[in-house]
Structure 1
Amino acid sequence: MRRKSSRLNARTVALIVTTVGAAALTAYTVHDLREFKESRQARSLEVGQRAGIRVAEALDETLSEVSERATEYSKVVARIDSEPELLESIKKESFRFPLVMGVTVAFEPGAFAGKERYSPFFNKARDEFQFIEQAYDYTSRELETAKWYTAVVESGKARWSEPYFAKAAETMVVDYGVPVVDDEGRTIGIVDYAISLSDFTRIVDALSVGEAGYGFTYDETGAILSHPNPIYLLQNVFQLRDGKNEAIVNSLREDAEGVVAYNSTYTYKHSWFFFRELKSTGWKSVLVFAEDDLLGASDEGRRKIIQIGIGIGLLLIALLALLALVQGVDGFNRKELWRLATLTSLVLLGNIVLIWYLNVTTDFSRFDHDVERIVNDTILDNYVEQSDAELYKLVNARYSKVPTGIFIESYELSSFEASIIGKLWMKYPKDLYETAPPGFYLPDVSALETRGLVQTKLADVEYDDYVLVTWRFRVTLEEDFSYRQYPFEQNDVALRILYPDFSKNVLLVPDLQSYDILNPSVRPGLNPDVSVPSSETIASFFTLSNAEFKTTFGNRRLVKSYPMLTFHMVFKRNYLNPFVANIIPILIVVMMMFVVLYISSRKQDGRAGLTTMNVIQSSAGFLFILILAHVNERARIETPEIAYIELFYFSMYLYITVQTLALAAMFRGVDWKLFEWEDNLILKLSFWPLLLAIWFAFTLARFY
């Protein structure tokens, strides 16, 4: 009796220690995940605030230079009394700042050379003068479009105008006007520096970073002066909601600087909203970033959630075992053991499902740090500059850039091929059109002639500085898909595009301006109604990388690698069909195996007619069913790898074999302690936990 009590005490102590250890592990993993998230959030805020300050200071510096120069130039204009000299001076001044689209000098009636009104504006885009007095009366107090002039003259002070549509420039602009004062202190006119809102947007965008990050500015009234999506220009940020509540709007209106969080309907991501007032203008610059854009995407969060699942599972099992032991009079009773086995099985199954869920809901392409997604002009410019520098070192030349866009109308997938129908366009520079005619080359076209590239030129539309060339194409590409995680795998259709003649140094670059939103999760360049029965497209984006051909193709050019434009479509398999086709039959076989094991007995009269031959025959039937399903699945995916789904088949082959041998040995009267306790209860209790533990082990190994 004392020995039994000693064993019970030892078990109790062991279970208490295990329970405490499991609780400590769970607490640690939960704390670790929380600390990880808080740390990333804190670092995101720090990086974002630094970026916000950097952008605000850069804009302030640029705008301050404009305002300071405008003040100086107003004094220069006051001393000019010759029309040719004035026009020459205005033209020269207009080219001083890249941001300024043109300079206007406007005079009060009769204040210059006796002219009734005189207001020359030099338009840099057209390289010509436009005379505003010929378009409308800029001195009229009743015209909204004349406030750029009248507000400065009336106040006698330099000021930034509210945004308006400039008739002469035919675009939305914001102006900085400074009074021109003569020697007697009278205001005789103004000098005005016009900034196009579209040009201002490009400046802000160049300072912004990140895949889903973007920048915009707004003035004191809330009017948006710059935004990557033109439809937002001149809308009032204080009236827009787009995921922002009233507290956020009040902060944007009242605070000089700050940060708020909201779900952006522009990027479709939870984002940080960093804003800061510009000292030079009173406007506010805003940077919007998702957390991953500031620190880079990380898979650590998913792994830590898996760790928490394991910790919670161990804690639940340990608690139930301890409770069962405490309630039992003489150790564990049969009922409590079945409860413990059931809970253990459910915990293992729950962890398997958790890993599946995390894998299905995670875009793993974000963690590929070897490939940089081109989602803004800054990333593109950096890559182009690097490519130009490398080419210049080799052949003393630079690339001719051709903006190229893709729109995928539909596509279908097979084991290692992707069939695509879509449109491709190029904004082809006119100076290249004759010496290097437009065209494209797809290096991954299928070797089967019937599945090759079919292209049809749809249009050549001529613009001022380029020709828009559009093709429609149909192609089947060979792709290097991986099936290691099938049916929960993620793959990438890569449409690689090159200019055919490498000796011409033509570099195809993504035409970013032709896409409203470049956030990969919004799937730019992809037909929103595209439907692929076997898969779901979760992202699309452009990249630029070097193609290593290891040959010059007979050209004199020494470079054996070439910058290559690639359009990616990331997809995940719709797992329901392969899941039903494979897992359901496996589960049915497992249940039948458990029934055979459950009715087995060491006693002849307790076997319900079950014999050794019956066990062997049923096992052979189970093996035949599974092998047939396995072979069919293997033929369907045609992969040289061992797919994840196949591990279930291999585990079942092993399990069926071991169970058959064990039952045959028991029926033959082999005297193993494994069979003796409670009439083979150990095998029956361990059937589900052991099988699910095997499944959990290889699931963790494949997906962690």
Structure 2
Amino acid sequence: MVTNDKATERYLTEYLPQHGAGYTKVPTGIFIQAVEFNGASNVKVSGYVWQRIPRDLRVKPGVVFPEAGDSYAATEKLVYEHDEGDHKLMGWYFNTEFRQLFDYGSYPLDKQNVWLRMWGMDFQQRVVLTPDFAGYPPWKIRDMTALDSKMVYGEWNPDFTAYSYLNNPYSTNFGFTKPTGISNNTPELYFNLGLKRDPRGPLYGPLIRWLFIALIVFSAMFLITVDEERREIVGFTTFQVMSFAVGMLLVIVFDQNAIREATDAKGVVYLEYFSYALYLMILMVGLNAMLLTAKIRIRALTWGGNLLPKLVYWPGYLGLVLAATLLAFF
């Protein structure tokens, strides 16, 4: 990450081939007006990008977004062009969709980094893009710079913005025999927008339903008794308990499928651990009922009229949730 011109110069001097000799540095800035997630791996970004092209150098102006659906869309809508003495200022409007890999492991308490990777338009010249820090107020350079203050984030909250560099490996020279601006040794400029998800929407709905199910399952344990006369009065049978458990499981399964569809995650996300813990508790309650109706006298179950399972129910469920939380975040 680079935060000013001095940090940029130090980084490029260290990591560019031959300490940057022979490279043309083109100041490039960006301003984001809208960000919208279209699915788990697609994000649509719109805004403005500009460059200060040195007048004494023959460099093709423009910015390429290699990870966008239309990589060259930014050069198609020239908005302004202005001569400023030793350089020419050019600005373009872009509205394109980027496909990126996001990590939803801690959903719905996750943070995402929406990055805009930028290349220069001129492949033949040894061009490296640099952040145009002069395009932003210096007293706001560490705030949410380059963002529209009226932007609508939906279920997301802004966390940070930053320019950064990254060396990306390539298995091709793009047909050029001489080094160009796009190669294994050339740092590439990124603009990063950090977002934090507002957990209230995706978290409260399933948790309230699952807590209600947990209370119902706990209440059902009071119908499980070792007293045969009382068992006949309440109509307690193993089949009825298992039917009740299946009904509760269906509600949880539907919620879990909705979570999988929202994140398209390859692994297990944090919120799913709550459902897995509830699966296990429902299974244990069903097993408890089967053991009692099978007249298998286990002292731990018959003690106090099946009191022990009632005592360990909530500590067991909350303990599983706590263990899942520690596993996900620590």
TM-score when normalising by structure 1: 0.44
Match of 1:440 in 2: 63
After superposition, residues 516-665 of structure 1 pair within 5 angstroms as 516-517=137-138, 522-558=143-179, 559-607=183-231, 608-665=234-291
* Alignment match of 2:90 (pick from 469, 473, 476): 469
> Residue 548 of structure 1 aligns to a residue in which SS?
coil
Does structure 1 residue 406 correspond to structure 2 residue 27? no
> Residue 62 of structure 2 aligns to a residue in which SS?
coil
Aligned-partner Cα distance in 1 for 2:130–2:265: 34
Map Cα deviations across residues 243-287 of structure 1 (whole Å, 9 max, x no partner). Answer: xxxxxxxxxxxxxxxxxxxxxxxxxxxxxxxxxxxxxxxxxxxxx
Aligned-partner Cα distance in 2 for 1:453–1:466: 23
Does structure 1 residue 431 correspond to structure 2 residue 52? no
Map Cα deviations across residues 367-388 of structure 1 (whole Å, 9 max, x no partner). Answer: xxxxxx2112221110121244
Q: 1:549, 1:561 within 8 Å by CA — same for their partners in 2?
A: no
Match of 2:3 in 1: 375
Equivalences, count:
323
Q: 2:31, 2:146 within 8 Å by CA — same for their partners in 1?
A: yes
Map Cα deviations across residues 441-483 of structure 1 (whole Å, 9 max, x no partner). Answer: 111113xx6x983640011100111000010111100111001
Does structure 1 residue 482 correspond to structure 2 residue 107? no
The Cα of 1:391 is off from its aligned counterpart by: 4.1
Map Cα deviations across residues 388-408 of structure 1 (whole Å, 9 max, x no partner). Answer: 4x2469xxx421111111000
> Residue 571 of structure 1 aligns to a residue in which SS?
strand
What percent of counterpart residues are identical?
Answer: 25
Match of 2:43 in 1: 418
After superposition, residues 55-94 of structure 1 pair within 5 angstroms as none
Q: State the 4+ residue runs in structure 1 displaced beyond 4 angstroms.
A: 517-521
Q: 1:457, 1:472 within 8 Å by CA — same for their partners in 2?
A: yes
Map Cα deviations across residues 286-333 of structure 1 (whole Å, 9 max, x no partner). Answer: xxxxxxxxxxxxxxxxxxxxxxxxxxxxxxxxxxxxxxxxxxxxxxxx
1:416–1:613 CA distance, 2 compared to 1 (3 A): same
After superposition, residues 223-372 of structure 1 pair within 5 angstroms as none
Aligned-partner Cα distance in 2 for 1:636–1:518: 39
The Cα of 1:650 is off from its aligned counterpart by: 1.9
Aligned-partner Cα distance in 2 for 1:509–1:683: 64
The structure with the larger Rg is: 1
Match of 1:186 in 2: none
Higher relative helix content: 1
1:548–1:561 CA distance, 2 compared to 1 (3 A): farther
Q: 2:34, 2:46 within 8 Å by CA — same for their partners in 1?
A: yes
Match of 1:453 in 2: 73
The Cα of 1:427 is off from its aligned counterpart by: 1.0
> Residue 523 of structure 1 aligns to a residue in which SS?
coil
1:517–1:595 CA distance, 2 compared to 1 (3 A): farther
Match of 1:689 in 2: 315
Unaligned runs of 5+ in 2: none
Which structure's relative contact order is higher, taking Cα pairs within 8 Å and 6+ residues apart?
2
1:386–1:480 CA distance, 2 compared to 1 (3 A): same
The Cα of 1:509 is off from its aligned counterpart by: 0.3
Does structure 1 residue 699 correspond to structure 2 residue 320? no
Aligned-partner Cα distance in 1 for 2:245–2:46: 49
> Residue 470 of structure 1 aligns to a residue in which SS?
strand
The Cα of 1:556 is off from its aligned counterpart by: 1.6
Match of 1:223 in 2: none
Aligned-partner Cα distance in 2 for 1:653–1:505: 59
* Alignment match of 1:385 (pick from 10, 13, 16): 13
The Cα of 1:516 is off from its aligned counterpart by: 1.6
Q: 1:517, 1:524 within 8 Å by CA — same for their partners in 2?
A: no
Instruction: Name the amino acid aligned to 1:604.
Output: E
Map Cα deviations across residues 98-121 of structure 1 (whole Å, 9 max, x no partner). Answer: xxxxxxxxxxxxxxxxxxxxxxxx
Map Cα deviations across residues 592-626 of structure 1 (whole Å, 9 max, x no partner). Answer: 10000133211123443322122111001011111
Instruction: Name the amino acid aligned to 1:571.
Output: L
